[in-house]
Structure 1
Amino acid sequence: MTALPAKTPRNRRLRSARTILALMLREMATSYGRSIMGYLWAIVEPVAALALMTVVFSVFLRSPPIGSNFPLFYASGFLVFNIYVDVGNNAARAVQYSRPLLEFPAVTPLDTILARFLLNFLTHLMVIAIILTGIIEIYDLHQIMDFRKLILALVIAGGFALSIGVFNCYLFVAYPSYAQIWAILNRPMFIVSGIFFLFDQVPQPFRDILWFNPIVHIVGLMRAGIYPTYEANYVSVTYVIGISMVLSLIGLHLIRRYLRDAMNL
């Protein structure tokens, strides 16, 4: 009898990669339709929504705290904040969305989370590129950007959103009402994450309290990448990565030990 090939780590990685790609294609087909226009609308819609919000807020806040263009200042904070909210929530709901597929041995909960995260994160990166390019071209801004800081901000924003998704995945399944509680708890984050103001301008002792908000660091790094004169010395990439790793480890433990039982409730 011919022996079956052993399941090497490389084979498992390839199988997982194929599974994630298949899940991403399924997500695109079900969420955006089977035509390219469905996916394009997923890009155009947030661009149009942000443009409308920018116009509304710029009427009341004509002079941004840094730079001379309010739409650029607003976008520099809102875009990474939206990664945290939208990508994190979509990743957290991945198991609920792909629950029937988890009956197949080839599909794991982590595969569904990674697939949904990658698709949504890549979509947001496209939206960010379109919006920033559009603002610079429309307003004829001669903006010199630090792309190293800009890319780093987007990477840690994605990593933090993924950690939020992994952490909340089990909780969303085991406690359905927790999703509403999480949404309520996140409403003040839009105000206290530095979207409309600079962290440096917050008076004490509130500045020391806001420092513990990881989004403040991501927004600050994003602005340091867009505005080369803005130093953002308060930003701690290590702090954000540390928070992300802790949340991910806790979430992975909950998924491995308790998720299957929660799904059978």
Structure 2
Amino acid sequence: MVDLRVGDFLARLRTQLRILHALVLREMMTRFGRHNLGFFWLMGEPLILSLGVMLAWSAADHKLGGDVGIVPFVLSGYTMLTLWRHIVGRSVHCFRHNAGLMYHRNVLPIDTLIARALLEVGGTGLAFVIAFIPLYLFGLVDRLYDPLLVVGGWLFLGWFTFGFGLIIAGLSEMNDIVERLIQPIMYITLPLTGMFFMVSWLPEDAARIVLYSPLVHCFELFREGMLGHNVEAQWDLQYLFNCCVCFTAIGFLVIRKARSHISLE
């Protein structure tokens, strides 16, 4: 009996992985096409914008706290911010845009969101690697202090953003006004992302407030792994994990309620 259950689980898992693989490929083809630069733009957009911000801050002789260089600080901040903006932004009306796929028996609404999140996490992460290598070779950034912390910060940000995206996806199906609120939400949350500062640079009262934001913990974790002793990072892994679980659970509840609003026509 146990062997049968394990075999059934593995068969379902293989089916699910094939579905996600197909959806990721479909999303790539739909968004970027088969010709010209195509998939490059998933990596090229954050790469180009990050380089632009680096040049602007460097030309303005922008000063940062401690011994942190502008180039690694911007590279770490903007690629993380891009992941946050892209996953949340592409969650809006995700089910509506992929309604035709729901005719397939094995495809669930949540699968389309997972596929989009995987594409963004992988593509934006690859953009960071592509930008980091030449900057390291030219001596503009140091080697990663702790790659495990870098990967941990990146994956936790992907997880939290996915959970938040679930909520946005469900609410946008139930009420179209949510689509109009996404850009204001992105601007409002910008000071709570941690892109422009380290918590240790802030006054005590301000630091205590921003640490309520899970995004700040992701940025601090990522930057400690990248910058090491040059920064005094403040993050709480247990708090971050709890927030990810809570937002994901709430997101699944919202998606469940929103399924009755999904039109297959």
Q: TM-score, normalised by structure 1?
A: 0.88
Check conservation: 2:54, 2:74, Cα contact below 8 A: yes
SS of 2:212's partner is: coil
Check conservation: 1:20, 1:114, Cα contact below 8 A: yes
**Structure 1 equivalent of residue 95 of structure 2:** 95
Shift of 1:46: 2.3
For residue 65 of structure 1, what is the amino acid of its counterpart?
Answer: G
- Alpha-carbon displacement from aligned partner over 1:87-146 (angstroms, at most 9, x marks no partner): 233245432331111122221011111111111211011011112223222345443521
Cα distance in 2, alignment partners of residues 178 and 58 from structure 1: 37
Query: Residue 144 and residue 112 in structure 1: after superposition, are their counterparts in 2 closer, same or farther (change >3 A)?
Result: closer
**Structure 1 equivalent of residue 261 of structure 2:** 262
**Structure 2 equivalent of residue 138 of structure 1:** 138
For residue 12 of structure 1, what is the amino acid of its counterpart?
Answer: R
Cα distance in 2, alignment partners of residues 250 and 225 from structure 1: 30
1:9-48 correspondence runs (5 A): 9-35=9-35, 37-48=37-48
Cα distance in 2, alignment partners of residues 23 and 175 from structure 1: 26
User: Are 1:113 and 2:116 counterparts?
Assistant: no
SS of 1:62's partner is: coil
Cα distance in 2, alignment partners of residues 54 and 142 from structure 1: 16
Check conservation: 2:174, 2:261, Cα contact below 8 A: yes
For residue 160 of structure 2, what is the amino acid of its counterpart?
Answer: F
Query: Residue 120 and residue 140 in structure 1: after superposition, are their counterparts in 2 closer, same or farther (change >3 A)?
Result: closer
- Alpha-carbon displacement from aligned partner over 1:158-205 (angstroms, at most 9, x marks no partner): 111111122222111111211222321220322343222221121132
**Structure 2 equivalent of residue 158 of structure 1:** 158
Shift of 1:67: 3.1
User: Are 1:187 and 2:187 counterparts?
Assistant: yes
User: Are 1:247 and 2:247 counterparts?
Assistant: yes
Cα distance in 2, alignment partners of residues 69 and 158 from structure 1: 25
Shift of 1:8: 2.7
Cα distance in 2, alignment partners of residues 259 and 253 from structure 1: 9
Backbone CA RMSD of aligned residues: 2.4
Shift of 1:44: 2.0
Cα distance in 1, alignment partners of residues 230 and 68 from structure 2: 13
Cα distance in 1, alignment partners of residues 262 and 167 from structure 2: 16
Check conservation: 2:164, 2:247, Cα contact below 8 A: yes
- Alpha-carbon displacement from aligned partner over 1:36-85 (angstroms, at most 9, x marks no partner): 73112332232112211221123334332243521211222222122122
Shift of 1:232: 4.0
Work out the number of aligned pairs and report it.
260
Cα distance in 1, alignment partners of residues 61 and 240 from structure 2: 30
Shift of 1:217: 0.8
Cα distance in 2, alignment partners of residues 90 and 160 from structure 1: 15
Cα distance in 2, alignment partners of residues 26 and 13 from structure 1: 20
Check conservation: 2:28, 2:39, Cα contact below 8 A: yes
Once structures 1 and 2 are overlaid, which stretch shifts more, 26-35 or 143-152?
143-152
Once structures 1 and 2 are overlaid, which stretch shifts more, 247-256 or 80-89?
80-89
User: Are 1:80 and 2:77 counterparts?
Assistant: no
Check conservation: 2:96, 2:263, Cα contact below 8 A: no
User: Are 1:170 and 2:165 counterparts?
Assistant: no
Task: Show structure 2 runs of 5+ residues with no match.
Answer: none
Check conservation: 1:61, 1:70, Cα contact below 8 A: no
Cα distance in 2, alignment partners of residues 188 and 60 from structure 1: 25
Query: Residue 233 and residue 45 in structure 1: after superposition, are their counterparts in 2 closer, same or farther (change >3 A)?
Result: closer
Cα distance in 1, alignment partners of residues 189 and 94 from structure 2: 23
Identity %: 20
Task: Show structure 1 runs of 5+ residues with no match.
Answer: none
For residue 162 of structure 2, what is the amino acid of its counterpart?
Answer: L
User: Are 1:197 and 2:230 counterparts?
Assistant: no
Query: Residue 225 and residue 36 in structure 1: after superposition, are their counterparts in 2 closer, same or farther (change >3 A)?
Result: farther
Check conservation: 1:98, 1:112, Cα contact below 8 A: yes
Cα distance in 1, alignment partners of residues 255 and 140 from structure 2: 49
